[in-house]
Amino acid sequence: MENEAMTINEIQDEIIAEFSDYDDWMDKYQLLIDLGNEQEPLDEQYKNESNLIEGCQSRVWLQADLTDEGKIHFQAESDALIVKGIITLLIRVLDNQTPDDILNADLYFIEQIGLREHLSPTRSNGLLAMMKQMRMYALAFKAKQG
């Protein structure tokens, strides 16, 4: 059976369901850390200044490439476990989506799983910086497709 690409909202709903299995925030943090640990390490060539996200307390590298199908493929890595988990979730939601879909996405899962209220202010700023950077890539690729 061919795996139909899931929409951004379908993926968000899946994440919300996964997190709703846990009541305790320590368990949710552990889930985030586990997700981050499962992520493929980023190729060393992409760990450069231009891929570092401004506004993150920890170091986060984000690489984006436009596929031949006109979708954006994201890869990332962070030296902080929780942040790595957060960027892993963002990538899960936005990876292999079109620039338009990314730009129009309402990332409601962040509120729904309680992430925003449980992050420190610096991590919250980092989360916003990551989202903004992914949107910037989408804008740039959209302009290129023009």
Known catalytic residues?
56
Distance between CA atoms of residues 84 and 32, nearest Å: 8
**Which amino acid is residue 26, in one-letter code?**
M
Reading phi first (left if > 0) and then psi (alpha if -120 to 50, else beta), residue 55 is in: left
CA atoms within 13 A on the CB side of 23: 0
Q: Could you give the 3-state DSSP secondary structure of residue 34?
A: helix
Class of residue 23 by CB neighbours under 10 A (exposed 0-12, middle 13-18, buried 19+): exposed
